[in-house]
């Protein structure tokens, strides 16, 4: 992804599962190959892919997450 984005470009991930909630875990068992990642796992993967600014927001009462990464 870092080869596609220009310097300063942003990449956003919005997910309704934080990788820890019961509903996400249920669907992982039902849908072959599905995996819900935690915000920490996503952040680590984005940094490994070359993004230097990564921020994660978690909804206070729902398992929703948003991860914003910027190529610097």
What is the SS3 string spanning 2-63?
CCCCCCCCEEEEEECCCCCCHHHHHHHHHCCCCCCCCHHHHHHHHHHCCCCEEEEEECCCCC
Q: Look at residue 20 and tell me whether its pLDDT is greater than 80.
A: yes
- So what's the pLDDT on residue 39? 94
Residue 14 has pLDDT above 90, yes or no: yes
pLDDT in tens, 29-58: 999 999 999 999 999 999 998 898 999 999
Q: Give the start-to-end residue ranges of the domains of the chain.
A: 10-70
User: Which 8-state DSSP code applies to residue 72?
Assistant: -
């Amino acid at each position: 992804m870092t080869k596609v984005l220009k310097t300063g470009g942003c990449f956003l991930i919005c997910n309704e599962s934080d990788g820890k909630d019961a509903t996400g875990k249920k669907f992982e068992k039902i849908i072959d190959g599905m995996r819900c990642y935690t915000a920490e796992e996503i952040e680590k993967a984005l940094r490994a892919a070359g993004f230097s600014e990564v921020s994660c927001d978690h909804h206070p009462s729902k398992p929703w997450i948003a991860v914003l990464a910027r190529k610097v």
